[in-house]
Amino acid sequence: MLFIPMLGKEKALNKGKGEKMKFSNLGKETPILDGLEKVTGRARYVPDLKVEGMLHGRILRSPYPHARLKKVDISKAERISGVRDIITGKKVSQHKFGPMVPDWVILPDDKVRFHGDEVAAVAATSEESAAEALSLIEVEYEVLPAVFDPELAMAEEAPLLYEEKENNIATTFYVHKGDVDKALAGSEIVFEETYQTNQVYQAYMETMAAVAAPGDYERLTMWLSTQIPSMSRLRYAEALEICAEDLRIIKPHVGGGFGAKFEYKAHILAAVLARRTGSPVRMVNNREEDFRAGNPRVPMKIWIKLGLAKDGTLLAKDTRIIAGNGARTVYAPAITSTACYRIDSLYKFKNVRSTGYTVYTNTIPTSCFRGFGNAQMHFAMESALDTICHQYNLDPIKIRQQNGVTPGFTSIHGWEIKSCALKECLDKAVEESNWYDKKKEPAEKSPVKKGIGVAICNHVSGNRPFFKPFDGSSALVRLTPEGKAIVFTGEADIGQGMNTAFALIAAEAVGLDVKNVRTAAVDTDISPFGLGSFATRGTTIGGRAVYEAAVNLKKQLLEHLARVYEKKIEQITINEGQIYFDDQEDPITVAKAIQTISYTLGGTSLVGHGVFVPETVLPDENKYGNVSPAYPFGCHIAEVEVDTETGRARLLNYWAVHDVGRVINKQTLEGQVEGGVMMGAGWALGEDMVVKEGKLLNPNFHDYCLPTAMDTPRGRIYSYFLESGDPNGPFGAKGIGEPSLNPVPAAIANAVFDAVGVRVKNLPITPEKILEGLASA
Amino acid sequence: MTWENYYMPLTTGEAIELLVEKQGKARIIAGGTDLMVQHRSDPLNVRALIDIGRIPGLKEIREDSRRIYIGASVTHSQIVNSALLKKKGRVLVEAARTVGAPQIRNVGTVGGNVVNAQPAADTAIALTALDARIHILSGDGEFEKPVIDTFLGPGKSCIDPSKELVTAFSYSIPGPGERSCFARLARRESLALPIVNLGLWLCLEEDDHILKDIRIAVGPMSTVPFRARETEALLKGVLLDKAVIEKAGRSISDEVTPRDSFRGSADFKKQMIGVILKRSLESALEGKGVDSDEREQ
């Protein structure tokens, strides 16, 4: 096998924008390759698995937000027929671990820290026995004072969740570049405001799930509903105190994640029970548990101060963020730091300062949710800019074009903006939405008023500091003697359509028909290491590795074709599964040729290997350094109507324009954008995890109001894609998952303000808040 | 599951026989959309379930010379699609259309919605506005009473589904000048319980906007579906104009006594019931429905 790593070479994988490129597979509306099995119900997810001798695991969760465990008595529960094992904190190792901060244990033996915290776990031969056993575990709790609001948790008198964590502060992030105080002092416009974003739930269709099965050679196989097969393998090996090689992770179809499906306690408990009983153990959250102990969005209180010149030039940004970590650390600290400084590379700032506190409270541990802190800050920043424009009579479109980053720009944090069609995104959105005409329309006479609002966004496509050892990806593309290609990747398709994107990239790069290409399910015994689905990195970084593997495969294929058919490589062209020789009229099929080649090589498949390691760096101590190989941008314009008597805001139309570098699959891109817009609209207009004294009051889809199909815009969501052709992405492609959501709450809030003059600064924008605003106007 | 038997009788007589035979240890099930959810959190203490979904007579919507009859196991979808009710029972059609989502409307029945006795059950509010009567069969025979009299408290109906079977609802065929409509507010456009809802029936003098008679049913404003009789009294015999409509809105906001709940504060509900009454009156005058969303579900 030939191995030609393309380490960080920024090859021109595409021609620049403006030049139309001819593609056989890209830019079309390709239905996802596993679509049929999904819509017919044949696709198998972790909860569908049935393994011989499988036990059912259940978790006993704390009914108190903060309590000392005085006694956990399992004697009655153990007597239930079918119960095979019950574990408590006393029965398991108390070593500490965790994705970012070692504040996790398998099960606590001292205290519980949130309503829903794990107290004990049962494995039984049926779900009913497991449930009955749970009800018979007798726990004596000593209820402790608890704290729920992150700001109150920082107060001197607040009860501490962890004795060693002063003021309940898990982590602090600080960055200062330029001279913010001086720049603010010299600013003609100084604006200051506080915004709040609430806690919301990712609401993936498949709840958190694992099946763990002890196997041969003392190994453990885990089927996980996860975004990070390879990373969770490392973490779970640490939790179980075993060698990672003895853990095999298989990721079948996954029913969504949106950031929630990283390391998860229930997975580890399934593994512990499986190892103790010697039997496979299934652990699947019911929906209520998933609400009460999932990994919802990090709530934030964001204070922001902006300094501008009279003409709208941004001079300084100063922010202070208090973020809710919940009762143990998942990824909130990284999310807080992202909120603190990622948006600084959307605009040409020269002076920025930001402090972010990630604070423990006796509530559900919080974590990643599409947007990763950048979405929270977009709400604050883009709302603030809108207010400034209104107060100082500046044009909200022009101020963004004037200050937005441009191609070739290096941001204040050293982020290298290679491709960027931000300005064009604004132009397109303005044109398509008829922005300026709509702005001029007189107010409606009826109680229902229309309004229009804009917000722009940036994001990353890969985030170097997320996994300290490296960023990058590798892939294999295997061409079988039957002429079919299989892509092996460790990157996790969780429903976004990434596997289809990979197949399209491989097909395009080799010259195959995509119907003969598929992407294998991730299995750590077979697949390369892949960091997983986060930071909008899959298509860009994973896809680039697939591209490199396909290029490598093609090189081998050409060499073998030249050898077997006695041609020169320059004489051979491969396109859409056909091989053309320049001295021959009729092409031959790849399938026929590869069979011939394979039979000269002992029946082997040809395997292309590709590696992509972006030239990104870990930021230095002052957070300087290019973290991502590519940066996607976008502009959203929302049109709403607001009923001034009921306070209800509804979407009328929505225009989402994104610089995606290159369109790989138009159909899944549109899906991502429409999904991102509606997910953002749900957050903006009503979704809210209502917590009282630490207890979640709406842990179900009846009371937690996700938008339905009926809540989509009365008109429609218009999506447009601009192709700036990034030098690092495969064929120039950049990511879309998170940028599709980032600007949504601000665009809607700005439209609501335009409609009725009410500025809602704390999400969600409820009828009550709008009516209150109207009453006080 | 706690029950041993699941019966599917073909006549109301068979159903009643089963109820009598089981002596309180069986209960009626219709669409099951409420019952099965309740059963998961609070298991039913019965030996048998009697499914009335196969009894043909209970699935009919019909009229005779005086009244319109809606069988107890008529589904919400049947109501929504009924040509008869679209003409002669607009408030009920509009109410049924707002319940749940298509899947729930296809299964959930009007009888179940009423017997479940939630203070803001949409079809119960509509039937109350229509002054409908409920027809009940028990081991002792058949009887009927006003629908509004069946509600005893939240989730409490005077109908005992282990002894009695609701067979139908009926109301007078609307005459000249009679109009009805339904309105509600919820946290989203579908699959949501109402923050407030309102069923309105009124009768206008011919060629005139003078109200001969009016019924306003609202929820969730009390422990049971509530008739806003003070506001009705204020409006009876009055010429409906803009000023009167404004006054009616204020009156009903003062009259109702909702509670703070998950779906909205008491003050918010009081304010909102005023808004939807105003809009319903305006819409009834224009002869239009009040559901402003023109999209068909």
Look up residue A305 and give its amino acid. K
Beta carbons of A711 and B190 less than 8 Å apart: yes
Q: Taking the domains of chain A in order of start, what are their residue ranges? A: 48-144+220-284, 300-464+620-775, 472-612
- Is residue B245 less than 8 Å (CB to CB) from chain A? no
First-last CA distance in chain A: 72
CA–CA separation, B203 and A105 (whole Å): 69
How many A-B residue pairs are in contact by the CB < 8 A criterion? 42
- Is residue B106 less than 8 Å (CB to CB) from chain A? no
Look up residue B63 and give its amino acid. E
Nearest neighbour of A686 by CB, restricted to B185, B188, B293: B188
pLDDT score of A16 more than 60:
no
**In what helix (H) or strand (E) does residue A690 lie, and over which residues does it extend?**
none
**Chain B neighbours among A 740-769 (CB < 8 Å)?**
767-768
A126-179 pLDDT, tens per residue? Answer: 999 999 999 999 999 999 999 999 999 999 999 999 999 999 999 999 999 999
Q: Looking at residue B1, what is its pLDDT? A: 54
Q: Residue B37's closest chain A neighbor by CA?
A: A702
Query: Number of C-alpha atoms within 13 angstroms, CB side, residue A216?
Result: 0
Average pLDDT value for chain B: 92
Look up residue A691 and give its amino acid. V
For A503, list phi and psi in degrees, rounded to 5. -65, -40
- Is residue B271 less than 8 Å (CB to CB) from chain A? yes
Beta carbons of B189 and A648 less than 8 Å apart: no
For B177, list phi and psi in degrees, rounded to 5. 80, -5
For residue A427, give both structure tokens.
């132009």
- Is residue A690 less than 8 Å (CB to CB) from chain B? yes
Distance from CA of B245 to the nearest CA of A (A): 15
Q: Looking at residue A437, what is its pLDDT? A: 97
Distance from CA of B193 to the nearest CA of A (A): 8
Distance of CA A589 to the CA centre of its chain: 40
Which CATH number applies to A472-612?
A: 3.30.365.10
Beta carbons of B188 and A771 less than 8 Å apart: no
At residue A320 the predicted structure's pLDDT band, cuts being 50, 70 and 90, is very high
- Is residue A775 less than 8 Å (CB to CB) from chain B? no
Q: Which chain A positions have a beta carbon within 8 Å of B293's beta carbon? A: 710
- Higher-pLDDT residue of B74, A15: B74
Long-range contacts of the stretch B37-45 (C-beta < 8 A, 24+)? B43/B2, B44/B2, B44/B3, B45/B2
- Is residue B261 less than 8 Å (CB to CB) from chain A? no
* ipTM, 2 dp: 0.93
Query: What mean pLDDT is predicted for residues A679-700?
Result: 96
- For residue A23, what are the CA distances in angstroms to A575, A658, A721? 10, 20, 16
Which CATH number applies to A300-464+620-775?
A: 3.30.365.10
Closest CA to B22 of B183, B139, B146: B139
- Is residue A698 less than 8 Å (CB to CB) from chain B? yes
CATH class of A48-144+220-284: alpha beta
pLDDT score of A569 more than 50:
yes
pLDDT score of B2 more than 90:
no
Nearest neighbour of A710 by CB, restricted to B190, B262, B279: B190
B160-194 pLDDT, tens per residue? Answer: 989 999 999 999 999 999 999 999 999 999 999 99
First-last CA distance in chain B: 34
- Torsion angle, alpha carbons of A154, A155, A160, A165, to 10: 50
For B195, list phi and psi in degrees, rounded to 5. -75, -45
A266-306 pLDDT, tens per residue? Answer: 999 999 999 999 999 999 999 999 999 999 999 999 999 99
pLDDT score of B152 more than 50:
yes
Average pLDDT value for chain A: 95
Closest CA to A632 of A558, A509, A710, A740: A740
- Return the CATH number of B179-286, one of 2.60.40.10, 3.30.390.50, 3.30.420.10, 3.40.50.300: 3.30.390.50
Sign of the C-alpha dihedral, residues A701, A703, A709, A715?
A: negative
- Is residue A714 less than 8 Å (CB to CB) from chain B? yes
CATH class of B56-172: alpha beta
Distance of CA A438 to the CA centre of its chain: 34
Q: Looking at residue A229, what is its pLDDT? A: 97
Beta carbons of A708 and B188 less than 8 Å apart: yes
Q: Which chain B positions have a beta carbon within 8 Å of A705's beta carbon? A: 187-188, 192
Distance from CA of B127 to the nearest CA of A (A): 25
B42-76 pLDDT, tens per residue? Answer: 888 889 999 999 999 999 999 999 999 999 999 99
pLDDT score of B289 more than 50:
no
pLDDT score of B19 more than 60:
yes
Beta carbons of B264 and A708 less than 8 Å apart: no
Q: Which residue(s) pair with A68 in the sheet?
A: A111, A142
Q: Looking at residue B290, what is its pLDDT? A: 36
CA–CA separation, A15 and A28 (whole Å): 19
Query: What mean pLDDT is predicted for residues A753-767?
Result: 98
Distance from CA of A31 to the nearest CA of B (A): 27
Query: What mean pLDDT is predicted for residues A486-505?
Result: 97
pLDDT score of A535 more than 80:
yes
Residue A56, classified by CB atoms within 10 Å of its CB into exposed (0-12), middle (13-18) or buried (19+), is buried
Q: Looking at residue B233, what is its pLDDT? A: 98
pLDDT score of A675 more than 50:
yes
Q: Looking at residue B297, what is its pLDDT? A: 35
- Is residue B275 less than 8 Å (CB to CB) from chain A? yes
Look up residue B228 and give its amino acid. A
Beta carbons of B188 and A707 less than 8 Å apart: yes
CATH topology of domain B5-54: 3.30.43
CA–CA separation, A354 and A636 (whole Å): 26
pLDDT score of B116 more than 70:
yes
pLDDT score of A714 more than 50:
yes
- Is residue B295 less than 8 Å (CB to CB) from chain A? yes
Closest CA to A400 of A430, A376, A371, A372: A430
pLDDT score of A636 more than 90:
yes
Q: Do the domains A300-464+620-775 and A472-612 sit in the same CATH topology, yes or no?
A: yes
pLDDT score of B292 more than 70:
no
Nearest neighbour of B190 by CB, restricted to A645, A703, A708: A708
CA–CA separation, A352 and A325 (whole Å): 24
Nearest neighbour of B262 by CB, restricted to A648, A686, A697: A697
Distance from CA of A341 to the nearest CA of B (A): 34
- For residue B270, what are the CA distances in angstroms to B119, B252, B260, B284? 15, 8, 10, 21
Q: Length of chain B, please? A: 297
Q: Looking at residue A21, what is its pLDDT? A: 66
CA–CA separation, A72 and A52 (whole Å): 31
A358-398 pLDDT, tens per residue? Answer: 999 999 999 999 999 999 999 999 999 999 999 999 999 99
A425-483 pLDDT, tens per residue? Answer: 999 999 999 999 999 999 889 999 999 999 999 999 999 999 999 999 999 999 999 99
CA–CA separation, B134 and B68 (whole Å): 12
pLDDT score of B293 more than 60:
no
pLDDT score of A189 more than 60:
yes
- B254 CB neighbour count, 10 Å cutoff: 12
Helix axes B90-98 and B122-129, enclosed angle (nearest 10): 170
Q: Which chain B positions have a beta carbon within 8 Å of A707's beta carbon? A: 188
By percentage, how much of chain A surpasses pLDDT 70? 97
- Helix (H, G, I), strand (E, B), or coil: what is residue A620? coil
B217-252 pLDDT, tens per residue? Answer: 999 999 999 999 999 999 999 999 999 999 999 999
Distance from CA of B271 to the nearest CA of A (A): 8
At residue B287 the predicted structure's pLDDT band, cuts being 50, 70 and 90, is low
Q: Cβ distance A615 to A561 under 8 Å?
A: no
Within A95-140, residue ranges assigned H as helices are 127-136
For A307, list phi and psi in degrees, rounded to 5. -115, 135
Q: Cβ distance B226 to B217 under 8 Å?
A: yes
At residue A15 the predicted structure's pLDDT band, cuts being 50, 70 and 90, is very low
Non-local CB neighbours of B87 within 8 Å, separated by 6+ positions:
none
pLDDT score of A510 more than 80:
yes
For A674, list phi and psi in degrees, rounded to 5. -65, -40
